[in-house]
Amino acid sequence: MKETLVILAAGMGSRYGGLKQIDGVGNHNEPIIEFTIFDAIKTGFKKVVLIIRKEHQEAFEESLVKKIRPYIEVEYAFQDLNDIPEGVEIPAERVKPWGTTHALLSCRNILKDDPFVVCNADDFYGRNAFEKIMDFFHNGISDDTYCMVGYKVENTLSDNGTVTRGCCQKDGEGYLTSIKEVMNIKWNDTHDGVLYEEDGEYKPMEMGSPVSMNFWGFMPSAIAKFNEIFTNELPGGIANNPLKYEALLPNHVGILVKEGKCKVKVLTSNDSWFGVTYKEDKPTVVAKIQSLKDDGTYPDQLF
């Protein structure tokens, strides 16, 4: 197998205020994405696909890709607003692409034969997440059995604003039964509980609730399934919310599970996530990255 890492890196960074996917957080100006690729290489991944916007290719090549090409096969895929099914009209003022499922589908001619992981460019997951998914891939699972790494919700929050997470339910055997994208999750005022917004009102969320950080392990069969959902959903999504509708990968995984079209094993992690949702998150991330170098988890120079 040629296990492939697919990184979602086409976001516009509106809350962050810049191209956060390649903003340096390490002492040698390494972005989070570089640590993610380092971990993937160490656990045996053989190829990385970077999903970006076409206009950012030169920036990615100069700051990241030319360093990693000697160590792993690299391919670009471009998320394009115009890459939609025939007959669907794009609203005149639409600027944003169509979400994370749409981003993944930009790889549909690349991801044909081998298992692949999908993750975000600006989230730090840790090597254990890659090790767990690589073990899963090598366990002889069926083509319609996928996996995800889940984190405790309180280990995934920002101190600088609300976050969106895929909140998960699982059965007694550890398989996903439902997942729902929940927006505006945050600490409560005393920082000892978690709140989420529903119908304009903040409500408590149980501590320890498993959430998706968009770290998925898929088999090749997933692409056709997501393409079918996206194609069917897009016209209605545009009609209901022409400028902001997004096809979200966690929600679509949930649809496949509900319809019995796949099984998803929830691989749990007790690690703390960190990332740069907001510009104000950066100093905390810089300090955590340096501590991981200081304790020997990562070398001073990755590549």
Q: Which one-letter amino acid corresponds to residue 60?
A: F
Model confidence pLDDT, tens digit, residues 122-140: 899 999 999 999 999 998 7
Domains defined along the chain, listed by start: 4-294 (3.90.550.10)
pTM of the model: 0.90
Residue among 127, 123, 149, 148 at smallest CA distance from 45: 127
Distance CA 167, CA 149 (A): 12
**Which residues, other chains included, contact 301 with Cβ-Cβ below 8 Å and sequence gap of 6+?**
28
The answer to whether 72 touches 42, Cβ cutoff 8 Å, is no
Q: Which one-letter amino acid corresponds to residue 160?
A: N
Model confidence pLDDT, tens digit, residues 212-250: 999 999 999 999 999 999 999 999 999 999 999 999 998
**pLDDT at res. 12:** 59
**pLDDT at res. 16:** 53
Distance CA 26, CA 29 (A): 5
The answer to whether 101 touches 231, Cβ cutoff 8 Å, is no
C-beta atoms surrounding 302 within 10 Å: 18
Bridge partners (DSSP) listed for residue 267:
149
**pLDDT at res. 120:** 93
* 175 SS3 class: strand
Residue among 114, 115, 118, 94 at smallest CA distance from 106: 118
3-state secondary structure 209-260: CEEEEEEEEECCCHHHHHHHHHHHHHHHHHHHCCCCCCCCHHHHHHHHHHCC
Model confidence pLDDT, tens digit, residues 38-62: 999 999 999 999 999 999 999 999 9
Enumerate residue ranges in the chain where pLDDT < 50. Answer: none
**pLDDT at res. 13:** 56
Residue among 113, 116, 134, 123 at smallest CA distance from 42: 134
- Nearest-5° Cα angle at 239, 235 to 241: 115
Distance CA 124, CA 297 (A): 13
